[in-house]
Amino acid sequence: MAVERTLILAKGDALVRGLVGEILARYERRGYTILGLKLMQVSRDQAQRHYAEHEGKPFFAGLVDYITATPVVALVVEGHDAIEGCRATNGATNPIKATPGTVRGDFGQTVGRNLVHASDSPAAAEREVAIFFHDAELFTRAHALAAWLAE
């Protein structure tokens, strides 16, 4: 068991369908700490770096279009084995294979519109967090608590 950080994206279909709150609540209720959170427009350069492992695959261009067509909600969460845990919360990549009770299993139909992203390894998490967040945009619960106690 390790305390890990991971990058989550609620992709454009989650935003357009009004499911962001519902989806984010699942990570929160699971006990993960939100360290960073923003609504943002992903540039094509960010998208291509983020999905570099898929370059050359037939769906790559569509994937870059998907992630850059609308704003997305990006977040960094932290918790015990958060990388595996958040991917389990998301469910299988293809929603038709995703277990009911997961985000994709509850809200998705097709692999091309599968609502969420979560990093798949510690190395990927570190790389992906750096694509979407500056260090100064990440806060711990202790930051918020200290400010609240100082009131």
Interaction site with ligand IDP (CB under 6 A): 54, 59, 63, 93, 111-112, 114, 117, 120
Work out what residue 111 binds among Mg ion, ligand IDP, none; the CB cut-off runs from 5 to 8 Å by kind. ligand IDP
* Nearest-approach distance from CB 92 to ligand IDP, in angstroms: 7
Question: Which tokens is 27 given?
Answer: 């990570």
Nearer residue to Mg ion within complex by CB, 20 or 87: 87
DSSP for 52-72 reads GGGTTSTTHHHHHHHHHSS-E
Catalytic residue among 80, 117, 134, 143: 117
Helix (H) or strand (E) holding 108: none
Distance, CA of 104 to CA of 111 (rounded, Å): 9
Q: For this structure, is 117 an active site residue?
A: yes
Whole-angstrom distance between the N-terminal and C-terminal Cα of the chain? 36
Interface residues with Mg ion (CB under 5 A) are: 120
Q: Which residues are catalytic?
A: 117
